[in-house]
Amino acid sequence: MALILDGNGRWAKKRGLPRQMGHKKGCETVEQIVEDAARLGIRYLTVYGFSTENWKRPEEEVGALMQLFRYYTKRLLKIAVESNVRVRMIGERSRFAPDIVEGINTLEEKTKDNTGLTFVIAVNYGGRDEITRAVKRVMRDCREGKISESDMTEQVFASYLDTAGIPDPDLLIRTSGELRLSNYLLWQLAYSEIYVTDCLWPDFNKEELLEAIRQYNKRERRFGGVGKMETK
C-alpha cells in the first residue's frame, strides 16, 4: 500500500492555526496508522513524507518539517521495536542535516530484522529523481563491466530503484482530494489501484483506512488483459 498524505496545511488553516501545527498533527496520524497497519497485517506501507519539490516551501515551514522529522525518527524507533515494524527510507538523504541522516540510519539498522509490517518513508523523494539516480548507477555498473545492455530487463532495472525488494503497491491512497501523483513512485504505481478521499490527512484514521481497503476489494484489476465478464 502507498499513501500520499496531503492536507496538513488545509487542516491547520481551517482552524486558524499555522501550517506547522497541521504537520505536527499529521505526524501523530502517521504514528497511529503505522500501528493500525501493522495490526491489520498489511505487509508494506509506503508513505510520502517530503518530496524533492517541497524544498520550494518557505524556509520556516521546511525548518519546522525538519524539526518534526528529527523528533519523530526517534519516536518511530520505539514504535517500530514494539510493533515488530521494519523501517526503510527511500529518497535522496544526503541533503538532510547529518544528525537526521544518522537518525535514519539507526532506524533502519535497528529494525532491519523485524518481520512484521515494512514501513517505508519517502523523504526528499521524487519519482523522476529516483529514476535518474537509478540510471546513473546502471551506467556506472555498465562502465565497470558489471552489467551489459543485454542483461537489462524491467526486473533488473527495478533492482536499481530505491524500492528494490519492495513489491509494487496494490493500492495508492491520497488524502485531501487532489487527483495527481505529485511525482510519487512513478515506476512502481504503473498498475496500482487509486483511491482518493477528501479526508484531510490529520483526520485520517483506521476507519478511513478500512474504507479504502473495502473499495479496493471491489475493484477488478485487469493489468491490460480483458475483464472477467468478457472471457465467459
| Positions in the binding site for ligand IPE (CB under 6 A) | 4-10, 48-51, 54, 65, 176, 178, 180, 182
Cβ neighbour number for residue 109 with a 10 Å cutoff: 10
CB 193 within 8 A of CB 216: yes
Contact partner at residue 49 from ligand IPE, Mg ion, none, CB < 5 to 8 Å by partner kind: ligand IPE
Q: Which is nearer to ligand IPE, 62 or 142 (CB)?
A: 62
SS3 114: coil
Residues 6+ apart with CB under 8 A from 127: 181, 183, 184, 185, 186, 187
Output the smallest distance, CB 8 to Mg ion, in A. 7
130 binds Mg ion (CB under 5 A): no
User: Which residue's C-alpha cell is 539507526?
Assistant: 106
CB of 180 to ligand IPE, least distance (A): 6
Candidate list 2, 4, 5, 6; residue touching Mg ion; CB under 5 A: 6
Does the annotation mark 54 as catalytic?
A: yes
Structural contact between residues 147 and 169, judged by C-beta atoms closer than 8 angstroms: no
Residues of this chain that interact with Mg ion (CB under 5 A) are: 6
Active site residues: 6, 54
